[in-house]
Amino acid sequence: MFLNSHLLGDVEQLCDRVAILVQGNVVRQGTISDLTADTCRYVIDLAADDRNAAQAAVRAAIPCQWVLRAQSADGQPGRNGPVETGRLSSGETVELAGASLHVVTGDAVRIQPVLDALRAGGLVIHEVRLVRQSLEDFFMQAVSVANGARGEKT
């Protein structure tokens, strides 16, 4: 079955595979999981009454060079103020915003040492969830890249 729609939320729920066309050319295709795999991250929300104390505890528990940024690595402004980023010794990028730590990976095994370090540092983990870019955001990015390669305005 072929579904042609600009209602990308519906496409995301109904389709196994998608193709993104720009001016009649397929610019990206595959499963939604494969297409958005590079955008997967685990968000670890900490139970904290004092965000500053929680952030200091995270910095102490997670050994990496922290750099203060106004935006996260994916270009989105920090919802809880400035974002601190770093890189784990295993290679994953981490972001600390408010009382949330983001670990840029879709592999649950790779966040286990982070969870262990947070617990060992006395932090209480409220929630751990896997998030990825929505199909709509992926579509907008793919169209922008395709139009940019053609020298067109989006």
Torsion over CA of 139, 98, 108 and 17, rounded to 10 degrees?
A: -10
Find the mean pLDDT for residues 8-29.
Answer: 88
What's the whole-model pTM score?
Answer: 0.72
In the block, which residue shows the tokens 């998608």? 18
Judge whether 39 and 136 are in contact, CB under 8 Å: no
CATH class for the domain made up of 41-131: alpha beta
Q: How many CB atoms lie within 10 A of CB 139?
A: 21
Q: What is the pLDDT of residue 147?
A: 82
Write down the mean pLDDT value for the chain: 86
Segment 25-36, tens digit of pLDDT: 899 999 988 888
Q: What pLDDT, on a 0 to 100 scale, did the predictor assign at position 8?
A: 87
pLDDT at 77: 44
Residues of the chain with CATH 3.30.160: 41-131
pLDDT tens sequence across 66-113: 998 865 555 554 554 689 999 999 999 999 998 999 999 999 999 999
DSSP assignments along 46-114, one per residue: EE-S-HHHHHHHHHHHS-S--EEESB-TTSPBPTTS-EEEEE-TTS-EEEEETTEEEE--S-HHHHHHH
